[in-house]
Amino acid sequence: CRQLFRSPSVPSGVPRPTLKRGQPLDRDTPVKAKQQRRVAGSPDQEALVELGMWLEPSRCAQFEEIRSLLANDDQELIGDFSKPHLLPMVEGKDPGLKYISPGTLAAVLMGHFSSFIESSIVVDCRYPYEYEGGHIKGAVNLPLQRDVDEFLLEQPMVPLDASKRVIVIFHCEFSVERGPKMCKFLRERDRSCHEYPQLHYPELYVLKGGYREFFFQFPSHCEPRDYRPMEHQAFKEELRKFRGHSR
């Protein structure tokens, strides 16, 4: 496959926080729609890439399929314009953000993209009582902007292997308000720390449907295996308190 541009260098002496890693998942539903992708090195041929195949570890073509997606000129570039987005995206509410399906997140957690990803950080933007009532395995709970600042920017995650990626995936209960807002906040703060277009975290995603949709599709990837809504009757006081902190 043709050579991809490398990401701009970032400081190498920055310590890396230890993340609890979850085990990725599988596709939400069997993917029937096939996307046409051009085969790298064969400009006159078209190949049908079935995204659902990424979730089948026995399929030996998985590596080359992902590689062909990376080599596709039609892919949108990540935030520092160094390479195309790795994960297949779906349409979301905010056209300025990149959304992935619950099935794609499951695939990441199960390691189907491990040849390309060094660290995947799932950021749960829900309030602590929601997180404690059930969350995606390995997700970190960062409900406030200062939490994101401290965890992701004070000691940025830098890949040890320059050919691999660090990706960040945000979500809240429905990924309609808190998750998307926090994703935008990180990008804005990250931009302010660098000379354009360099970034610590050029590849950001939002989980479409949020924890609620993910839990109903992949409960085995959640701990505890439960779902506590934001407006739970037993946590009215906590909701009032955290809404005040968020303003």
Domains of the chain in start order, with CATH, are 76-246 (3.40.250.10)
- Rounded Cα gap, residues 25 and 111, in angstroms: 8
- Rounded Cα gap, residues 206 and 197, in angstroms: 21
Q: How far is CA 172 from CA 48, 60, 165, 175, 245, in A?
A: 34, 35, 23, 5, 16
What DSSP character marks residue 127? -
Q: CA nearest 189: which of 6, 181, 99?
A: 181
Q: Which pLDDT does position 68 carry in this prediction?
A: 59
Q: Which pLDDT does position 63 carry in this prediction?
A: 55
Instruction: Catalytic residue, from 1, 60, 125, 172: name it.
Output: 172
Q: How many CB atoms lie within 10 A of CB 231?
A: 9
- Rounded Cα gap, residues 132 and 151, in angstroms: 19
pTM of the model: 0.72
172: annotated active-site residue: yes
**Vertex 106 angle, CA 147 and 216, to 5°:** 90
Q: Which residues pair with 3 in a beta bridge?
A: none
Q: Which pLDDT does position 142 carry in this prediction?
A: 98
Average pLDDT per 10 consecutive residues for the chain, totaling 247 residues: 39 43 41 37 34 47 55 76 97 97 98 97 98 98 97 95 97 98 98 96 98 98 98 93 77
Full strand arrangement of the beta sheet holding 203-207: 99-100, 203-207, 165-171, 117-124, 140-141
Q: Which pLDDT does position 203 carry in this prediction?
A: 98
Q: Which residues pair with 44 in a beta bridge?
A: none
What token pair was written down for 20? 């609890």
* Strand pairing class (117-124; 46-49): unpaired
Is residue 205 within 8 Å of residue 167, measured between CB atoms?
yes
